[in-house]
């Protein structure tokens, strides 16, 4: 479903990712664990097009994609960043609606229906008009997931989804990831947390060991 072939990336001559290969079937969860500075965030930035690759290819459904071509990337690979990156001046619903109305030029009414369905699915009904500062850490994270899902990505990636959460919420994000898996979502999860990684993963990669 998604193949990453021989991805390499160096910063100032120092190899961060060296010929990395990933192959995932639809609905599989890949956990990537490794030490700080091992290149986990860099990998997600490369596959979501925020960073250019030095070499390598990304294939989704037997087609090669260039994630730096913005529209193509946003519709196929979603990323939930560690800091969530919600827009502070927009409500929850506005945060969800911004990208689909701007990037895909879909009708506002249709986007709103989808956005509300996704919010309800993630347990955020009633939060539509609130601003990010009015939400708990776990709620902000679920809004960030909802905002990625509203673009109907084929692959959803998470950068350290448990780092800002206490242990109860850690279980709840694991549950959300497994529910999305049951619906067929292919997911890549970058984390320091070995126990969490094992709990959710079909495949596990240690970043340090492939460098």
Ligand X SMILES: Nc1ncnc2c1ncn2[C@@H]1O[C@H](COP(=O)(O)OP(=O)(O)OP(=O)(O)O)[C@@H](O)[C@H]1O
Residue 140 — left, alpha, or beta (φ > 0 → left; ψ -120 to 50 → alpha)? Answer: alpha
Q: Of residues 6, 10, 11, 57, which one binds ligand X by CB under 6 A? A: 11
What angle is formed at CA 176 by the lines to CA 170 and CA 182, rounded to 5 degrees?
Answer: 140
User: Any contact of residue 41 with Mg ion (CB under 5 A)?
Assistant: yes
Q: Report the partner that residue 76 touches, choosing among ligand X, Mg ion, none (CB closer than 5 to 8 A by kind).
A: none
Give the interface segment with ligand X, choosing from 35-43, 70-78, 110-118, 178-186 (CB under 6 A): 35-43
36 versus 63: smaller Cβ distance to ligand X: 36
Nearest-approach distance from CB 160 to Mg ion, in angstroms:
6
Q: How far apart are CA 182 and CA 176, in angstroms?
A: 10
The stretch near ligand X (CB under 6 A) out of 36-44, 65-73, 123-131, 167-175 is 36-44
Give dist(CA 78, CA 154) in Å, integer.
Answer: 8
- Contact between 132 and 95 under an 8 Å Cβ cutoff? The reply is yes
Number of chain residues interacting with ligand X (CB under 6 A): 11
Kindly tell me which of 83 and 134 has the beta carbon lying closer to Mg ion: 83
Residues that bind ligand X (CB under 6 A): 11, 16, 34, 36-42, 192
């Amino acid at each position: 479903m998604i193949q990453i072939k021989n991805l390499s990336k160096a910063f100032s001559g120092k190899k961060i990712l060296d010929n990395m290969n990933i192959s995932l079937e639809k609905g599989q969860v890949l956990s990537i664990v490794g030490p700080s500075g091992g290149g986990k965030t860099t990998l997600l930035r490369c596959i979501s097009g925020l960073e250019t690759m030095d070499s390598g290819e990304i294939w989704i459904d037997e087609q090669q994609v260039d994630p730096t071509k913005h529209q193509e990337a946003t519709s196929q690979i979603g990323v939930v960043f560690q800091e969530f990156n919600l827009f502070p001046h927009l409500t929850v619903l506005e945060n969800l609606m911004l990208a689909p109305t701007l990037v895909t030029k879909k009708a506002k009414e249709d986007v709103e229906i989808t956005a509300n369905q996704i919010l309800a699915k993630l347990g955020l009904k009633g939060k539509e008009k609130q601003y990010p500062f009015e939400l708990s850490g776990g709620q902000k994270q679920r809004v960030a997931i909802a905002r990625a899902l509203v673009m109907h990505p084929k692959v959803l990636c998470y950068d350290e989804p448990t780092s800002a959460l206490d242990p109860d919420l850690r279980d709840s994000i694991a549950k959300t990831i497994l529910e999305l898996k049951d619906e067929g979502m292919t997911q890549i999860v970058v984390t320091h947390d070995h126990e969490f990684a094992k709990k959710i993963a079909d495949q596990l990669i240690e970043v340090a060991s492939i460098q």
